[in-house]
């Protein structure tokens, strides 16, 4: 260009650039009129605008809209705003509470896999890059709190990483080992399974999420009818809603909650017209009542449960139904015995998964039965008299 136009070459180049920005059809490399244009570089700007956003087709617009109204995109929720005051997400939490943290943990951002290097800024959510990152194809297994290494494929890596909870029955076993079952200890603290533990529920005894009583066998991974064999088999991946039409292929019900998977009553009611969810809820209520009776009559202390404040169980020395306070703060309950801690852990694990009746109902019923049996025996009651089945 410099040889052809001499000192005017810079001006010529600038003119070409202006024509491109203006949306003209001039193409860099195009020869003068009448010359061969076979080798012209085909990089020309489109016709000039203005353009309207409505004229631009976004092929995944529906998916983005669905995601935007899901819990995964709710930046104002506690799950994503908890660390706003600190202006950085705790690395221990960042894996599941930020798309940036998830990619960091699995090494999808070029950092070492298995830890969050950080810092992870606040304001992030479970974004598109969490579940659509091409690097997910390289993740072959996910570690669970019990030590289990579970094989995964594709987006399963995201679901299994973040919906497994943070503790397992092994944590409870280690905390209560070699202690008298019915002696309160200030060294024992409530062990929280965490929240939305669907993957842990789904894997059942194989995943080891719950506390397993000695001499008992527990159902493993809940295999549904094919092809319902993955998270996305039941959940629309962007809205996260249940695709109930799939259920109707085999079940007659007006809602997921009304589906029953057994022809026997597990809660002693004998009512087979209700969904299995009702049996689980009824037995969970029985277990909580037993935990309250046990801590009052055996441990000699009372507590109140508050689902909105960690650690959820608070001391209630005068049994007035209100949490004791010290310096304006509620006092955490600290009169756990090994027996009550095991039972309350299983209760909280079941409560932490609102979809437990679909993810693994046999495992939920087994954990409830064994916890009820253990507590009722120490209270002089017989689980068989309650009509509760395993």
Which residues neighbour 364 within 8 Å (Cβ) at sequence distance 6 or greater?
A: 201, 280, 350, 356, 357
Asked if residue 50 has a cis previous peptide bond (ω within 30° of 0), the answer is yes
Q: What is the per-residue burial (b if ≥16 Cβ within 10 Å, else e) of 298-321? A: bbebbbbbeeeeeebbbbbeeeee
* Assigned token pair, 136: 């997910």
Each residue of 231-278: pLDDT tens digit?
998 999 999 999 999 899 889 999 999 999 899 999 999 999 999 999
* Assigned token pair, 117: 């290097």
| Domain extent listing, the chain | 2-55
Q: Characterise 198 by phi-psi region: left (phi > 0), alpha (psi -120 to 50), beta (else).
A: alpha
pTM: 0.84
Answer whether 240's CB lies under 8 Å from 70's CB.
yes
Radius of gyration of the chain measured on its C-alpha atoms: 29
In whole angstroms, give the CA distance from residue 113 to residue 139. 10
Residue 32 has pLDDT above 80, yes or no: no
Residue 94: name the closest of 78, 107, 109, 83 by CA: 83
Q: Average model confidence (pLDDT) for the chain?
A: 89
Answer whether 16's CB lies under 8 Å from 41's CB.
no
* Assigned token pair, 288: 């909580």
Each residue of 216-227: pLDDT tens digit?
999 999 988 777
């Amino acid at each position: 260009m410099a040889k052809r136009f001499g000192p005017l070459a810079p001006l010529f180049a600038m003119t070409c650039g202006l024509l491109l920005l203006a949306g003209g059809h001039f193409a860099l490399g195009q020869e003068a009129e009448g010359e061969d244009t076979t080798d012209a570089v085909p990089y020309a700007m489109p016709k000039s605008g203005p353009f309207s956003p409505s004229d631009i087709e976004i092929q995944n617009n529906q998916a983005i809209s669905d995601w935007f109204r899901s819990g995964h995109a709710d930046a104002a929720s506690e799950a994503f705003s908890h660390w706003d005051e600190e202006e950085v997400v705790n690395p221990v939490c960042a894996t599941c509470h930020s798309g940036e943290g998830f990619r960091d943990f699995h090494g999808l951002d070029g950092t070492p896999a298995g830890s969050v290097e950080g810092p992870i800024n606040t304001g992030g959510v479970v974004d598109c890059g969490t579940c659509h990152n091409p690097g997910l194809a390289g993740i072959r297994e996910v570690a669970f709190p019990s030590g289990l290494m579970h094989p995964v494929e594709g987006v399963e890596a995201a679901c299994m990483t973040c919906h497994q909870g943070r503790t397992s029955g092994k944590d409870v076993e280690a905390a209560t080992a070699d202690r008298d079952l019915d002696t309160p200890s200030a060294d024992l603290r409530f062990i929280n399974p965490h929240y939305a533990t669907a993957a842990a529920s789904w894997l059942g005894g194989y995943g080891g999420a719950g506390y397993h009583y000695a001499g008992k066998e527990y159902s493993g991974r809940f295999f549904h009818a094919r092809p319902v064999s993955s998270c996305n088999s039941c959940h629309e991946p962007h809205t996260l809603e249940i695709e109930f039409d799939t259920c109707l292929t085999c079940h007659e019900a007006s809602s997921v909650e009304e589906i029953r998977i057994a022809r026997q009553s597990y809660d002693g009611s004998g009512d087979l017209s209700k969904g299995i969810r009702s049996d689980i809820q009824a037995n969970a209520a029985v277990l909580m009542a037993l935990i309250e009776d046990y801590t009052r009559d055996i441990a000699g202390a009372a507590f109140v449960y508050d689902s909105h404040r960690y650690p959820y169980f608070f001391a209630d020395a005068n049994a007035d139904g209100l949490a004791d306070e010290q310096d304006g703060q509620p006092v955490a309950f600290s009169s756990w015995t090994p027996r009550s801690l095991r039972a309350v852990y299983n209760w909280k694990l079941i409560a932490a998964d609102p979809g437990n009746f679909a993810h693994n109902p046999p495992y939920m019923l087994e954990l409830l039965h064994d916890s009820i049996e253990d507590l009722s025996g120490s209270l002089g009651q017989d689980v068989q008299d309650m009509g509760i089945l395993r």
